[in-house]
Each structure stands twice: as structure tokens, then as C-alpha cells.
Structure 1
Amino acid sequence: MFQVWGKWVTQIDVHQGIRPETAIAKLKPSGICATVEGALVMQLLASVFLPTYPDPPGPKVVSNAVAAARWLSAALDVAVVNVDIPDVSNALSRLLLDLPTKIREVEAASRQRGKTLLDAVAAEASRCSVTLTSQELQAQPALMGEAAAKEGRYFDLCMIGWAPNNEASQMIAEEVVFSSGRPTLILPGDEDVGPLDHVVIAWDGSRVAARAVADAKPFLERASAISIITVTDEKVLPREDVADRLAHVLRARGLTAKVESFMPATIRSARHFRSTPLRSAAICWLWADGATLASGTLCSAEPQKAFCRICACRS
């Protein structure tokens, strides 16, 4: 053990079957910065964005974000996105509607929802022993997604809730996916997500698909099951065995992967895939609690277990 920049540093010899983060976690309470085989192990930094206007995210987004951070051994930053409504009133609207007062009331309600969300995240993170930081962003209604996307560029992973009837979360989710440049984990807002231990890779051998797989690396390392799916008779694939080739590469890294092929009509019959809030992003689906794809079909109904999506945009 030796001292560098005022911190005690030690090198850990990680034996087969012991994860580096497990060994490092044991040293953290002592304030030790640990390296594995001479290389610094960087902690994953995740950020969850919680819009407060016009409605807060689903009730389960907070607990799901903390659970995902804990599953990944990541530090979590929570950013509430409060609304800043520009005053475009004139003399008549001020006289008849008292518009400035209504704007102040809406903004105050947004900030109060943000404070409630921050308190909820802090309590959940403390319960789960997840390192937490927090911040408050402020943006006009049409720019809330842009504000979140710009802040997301400073983290390894972005997280955002998704609800079919919450336009604010939908807008922010799509903006973060396509403008942050970071992988985005989209969380359900009305059901709990357990360990994200089944990774389903939609694979066509393209550059964006490769990026999505690379972005899913922390999940792949922890997965108990990996399914690689390809859609046949939809477009020309770069080679016939694209899925088998990826499975081979993953197995060479010590991961267990299986290959599934589906027809386009089967894909369209799945309600949860139709609801995917994306225009054209490469995507990996992550199922919790060991839920798996049915053999020969792509789940014609909703899966029994909660699932998330991790997305990588084309840019």
C-alpha cells in the first residue's frame, strides 16, 4: 500500500470468480482508492432525470433508478427538471387574467414537486446504500429535454422514466436518447424492476447496433441470460450468421448467449415493442427477475416481469 495525492492506494490481485468491484467495495469504507492489476477502476456514474412539469414521473421511477444504480454498483446523480415559464403577458392579460401570478404559481408548484422527488430519492438511496448527488435544472417547457440531454453528457449512463400518458417524460426521454450521446436506460414508472439480468440484443450487425452492445457492457457483465435476436425477411443483413457471430464473440468473453430469429409480423404483434418511444435508435431490452423470451415468438402479450430498455442513438 502506498500514498498518492494524499490517498492511500493499494493494488488488488483479483482471483478467478471474484469481481473487481466486489473487492473494491470492501475497501471503500476505509477511504481507499483501489486499482486492479495496476489499472484504476473507475466507478460508473449514472444520472436520472425527473421532470416536474406538467406532471411528475411515475411513482416507481425513483425506486427503479436507485435499484438500477445499486445493481450496477454506480454512483447516482438525480436531476429534477423544473419549469421556467417566460413572461409573455401584456397589459390586457395582466389586467384580465393576472398571468404573471399564475406563472409564479405554476413554477412554485414545479419546484415543490422537485423538492418532494429529491427527498424521495435521498431516502431510497440511503436505504440502499447508493452514493447520491443531486441538482436542480430549470428550463422552458419546450427545452426541458434539451437541458437534460446536455447535462447527461457528463455521465456514463442516463436514466429516465417512461409513462404512456406523461408527455414531459416522453419528450425528455427521446431528447436524451438522441442528443445526450450517452446510453439511456428507460425505466417503467408504474412497476418495480428487479435485477436486470436478462439482456435481449436486437442485432443486425450495424454500427449503431454495435454501439448499443458496447453501451450495455455493464449489464452484459452481470447478466445471467443474453438473447440475441435478428429479424429475418425485413432487410439485407451484412452476413447470414450475424447473430451467431456476435454470440461467438460474447462466449469468447465468458458470457452465455443464445440466438433467436423472428419474422417481422411477429415483432409487430408485441404490444411492448410497439410502445417503444424511439424513432430509429439501436436498442437492447433488459428483462428483470429472469423473465425470458418465449421460444419461437416474441411475447405476443406483455412480459410477466418488468423490463427496461437501454438505447444508443445513431449519431
Structure 2
Amino acid sequence: MKDILVFLSPSRRDDLSSGAHCAIALARMHGAHLSALIADVETDLRDLPPEPDIRQVERAGAKPATSSERVARTAELVQSAATDANVSCDILQTENQPVSLRERMIHCTQVHDVLIIDARGPLDSPRKELVEAALFASGRPIVFVPPNTPVLAKGRIVVAWDGTRSAVRAVRDALPLLAQSREVLVVSVIDDKLFPIPHSGDALCRYLARWHVDAKFGTIHRETLNIGASLLACAQQADADLLVMGAFAHGFERELMLGSATRDIFNARIEIPVLLSH
């Protein structure tokens, strides 16, 4: 992992999001370069704490910062934090570009190892369309980082395994993280289907062992939960730092009948980072 991309909304305060801190920490851990793509794609004040009354009075006459000013301020904060962490960093331009933000997102993600993006509750438009575009068109993994999340540690990782191409791709994309983890738990949700290759989870663990990854395999039942919620619950119960899973692994018809674990993640209020790979 040598080139990390983080997509950020401009900050409305003089601090950085969990996604930014995660990206800087990963870049430092892997000796990687960091690129930040900053764009104002939505207006959402729900995550901001209420201002004390006295500050509201003092700021009542203040002119709110424009989108361009907030983008510039966020760029300054990222550069400063990266410098403090001894991480090389550049800011990618989003304004005055000949292509749309969607195309810019795809192109930038294609030439980086991973895209890191903040996840503040269920994924809604227009952020959802940007994420789907990056997943389907870039060939690179995405890591969703929820608010107030500790920086990824060299701890425990849960890998969702169902023997599909997307699951294989997710494992391969996550290898730099898996190789530095303390423990990996490979899990399969077995309520809805039979695996075409018996014992493939154990075989995956043997493969990971050749990368010096301590991996164990287990199965879980989703029962009344959807698949995504089951995987998230498993990861939280295991006190994992990260959930790794394939994205949009099945055909449209099967998703209509049984649902999609990827959509489950999109609609969830995640509490740990999730790596998705298509």
C-alpha cells in the first residue's frame, strides 16, 4: 500500500473527520503517500454538536464561510496533520475541472491503492452515487470510516467469506492490512446458501497463513438479521478493528429475492470501519 486516497467533505469546524485521521494513520503505517479529494457534495449539519448560547450570540453577526473557503480550510488542516505525522500529502483539485465529480472520483480512485471515505449513518444521495461509481468503475477497495472511530490498529480483522469473486478480491485488496493484524477471523453466513466448494473457509485460512496471517474460520447464522447486520454484529462482538467484505457479489435477481449485504451496509449506521471491494 503506497498511495492512499481520502475523500472529504469540507469541515465546518477546525478539526478533521475520522476518515481523515484514519487515512493519515494508514499512510504513516505503510510509508505511503496521501492524496485528499475535497468537495462539498451535501449539506448535513446533523453531526455537529449544538453551540453554547454565548457563542451563538457572539457569532450571530458573523458571515458563514463559503464552500470554497471551507474546502481551502480543510485542505490546510489535512496538510498540517499529515506534516505532523511525517506523511507526504497533496490536495487534488475538484473545482474548475473538465469532468464531473463522479468521473473525477473514479479516475482518482483508479490510481490509488484504496479510497477512504467517511460514513455518517446510512448512505444517501449524492454520496451514495459517488461510492457506487468508485466501487464499480475503479477496481479499487473502499474503506468506510464512521465518526468517533479509533484509528485502525494492528488488532483483529473480520473477513466475510462466501467464495465469490468479490470476496476473493476483498481478501486480496486487504492483504496489506491483514498481514499487519494480530488476528483474523474468517466468517461465513450459512443460512441462505450452500458453498460450491466445501471447506473453502479453511482453505482460505491456509492461504493466509502463507502470508503469515493468523486466521481462523467460523460460521454464523443471520437468523432474523439481514446479512450485513449479522456481519457487523459478528465484527463488533469479536471487538474487531475492521470488517472486510466483497461488494455486489451476486446478480440483480438474487439481490431482489434475498437482499444484498452491500445494501445492508449502505443502510446501516456502522460503528467500525468496513472495507468493501468489487
SS at 2:8 equivalent: strand
1:47 and 2:5 matched = yes
| 8 Å CA contact retained: 1:152, 1:182 | yes
1:118 matched to 2:85: no
Q: Alpha-carbon deviation of 1:114?
A: 0.9
Residue 173 and residue 72 in structure 1: after superposition, are their counterparts in 2 closer, same or farther (change >3 A)?
farther
Take 1:242 and 1:279, find their aligned partners in 2: how far apart are those partners? 16
Q: 236-245 or 193-202, which moves further after superposition?
A: 193-202
Conserved 8 A contact 2:16-2:78: no
Structure 1 residue 139: Cα displacement: 7.9
Q: 1:229/1:48 Cα in 2 relative to 1: closer, same or farther (>3 Å)? A: same
Matched, 1:62 2:23: no
Residues 1:281 and 2:248 are matched in the alignment: yes
Instruction: Tell which structure's C-alpha radius of gyration is larger.
Output: 1
2:128 is the alignment partner of 1:161: no
1:160–1:185 contact (8 Å) kept in structure 2: yes
The equivalent of 1:73 in structure 2 is: 31
Higher strand proportion, which one?
1
Structure 2 gap segments, 5+ residues each: 42-62, 234-242, 250-268
1:177 counterpart residue number: 135
Which of residues 168, 182, 206 in structure 2 aligns to 1:210?
A: 168
Alignment of 1:214-225 (within 5 A): 214-225=172-183
CA contact (8 A) 1:193 1:307 kept: no
| Native 8 Å contact 1:201 1:213 kept in 2 | yes
Letter of the structure 2 residue corresponding to residue 45 of structure 1: D
> Take 1:211 and 1:160, find their aligned partners in 2: how far apart are those partners?
19
> Which fold has the larger relative contact order, with Cα–Cα distance below 8 Å and residues 6 or more apart in sequence?
2
Determine the C-alpha separation between the residues in 1 that align with 2:142 and 2:10.
Answer: 19
- Offset at residue 135 of structure 1 (A): 1.6
> Could you tell me which amino acid in structure 1 is paired with residue 134 of structure 2?
V
**How far 1:151 sits from its partner (Å)?**
1.7
Q: What RMSD in Å do the two structures reach over aligned CA positions?
A: 3.6
The separation in 1 between residues aligned to 2:198 and 2:123, in whole angstroms, is: 41
Match of 1:308 in 2: 273
Tell whether 2:146 aligns with 1:188.
yes
Partner deviation per Cα, 1:168-218 (whole Å, 9 max, x = no partner): 444433332222211112222333324153221111112111111110111
* In the alignment, structure 1 residue 250 sits paired with structure 2 residue 208: yes
**Does the alignment pair 1:148 with 2:105?**
yes
Report the Cα offset of residue 228 of structure 1.
Answer: 0.3
Deviation at 1:111, TM superposition (A): 1.4
TM-score of the pair, normalised by structure 1: 0.61
Paired with 1:223 and 1:280, the residues of 2 have a C-alpha distance of: 22
Share of identical aligned residues, percent?
Answer: 24
